Amino acid sequence: MKPITNIFLSIEDRARRYFEKMPFIQALVAGVGVIIFWRGIWELLDRTHVSPGVSIVLGCLLLGAVGVFVQTFIGNTIIIKEVKQEEKIEKKAMQKMEGEVGTETVTLAQLSAKLDMVMKKIEER
């Protein structure tokens, strides 16, 4: 099994390097490949007279067994929620930074006033 896997991995690696400069062509070829693959699965299940209910159950079991079911159907929702949460955190951080800048400005103004008082006292002596 390992030699067959290595052959497919090396073919995939060469193809990836070849199509690296042509992403549109790669997407087109990949799309055609996916459609042909699913057409073959569809025809196979039709010829074996598998009912739609059984197809759904088998599909869910296969996707769950491989660990793709949650990633595909639920993962996108989780990713969207995480992005929104990160945006909120970023917004809070920006507001906090803006508040700190205002505080630093006030502090600089106070330091400037104290420095002026010290300069006046030095000049009086």
% of the chain exceeding 90 in pLDDT: 6
Q: How far apart are CA 76 and CA 39, in angstroms?
A: 26
109 domain-assigned: no
57 domain-assigned: yes
In the chain, how many domains are there? 1
In the prediction, which pLDDT does 19 show? 84
Residue 64 structural domain: 2-97
pLDDT tens profile 45-100: 889 998 889 888 888 888 777 766 666 666 666 677 777 888 888 888 887 777 66
In the prediction, which pLDDT does 106 show? 63
94 by Cβ neighbours in 10 Å (0-12 / 13-18 / 19+) ranks as exposed
pLDDT tens profile 110-123: 788 888 888 888 88
Q: What is the largest CA-CA distance in the chain?
A: 106
Q: Is the pLDDT of residue 30 over 80?
A: yes
107 domain-assigned: no
22 domain-assigned: yes
102 domain-assigned: no
112 domain-assigned: no
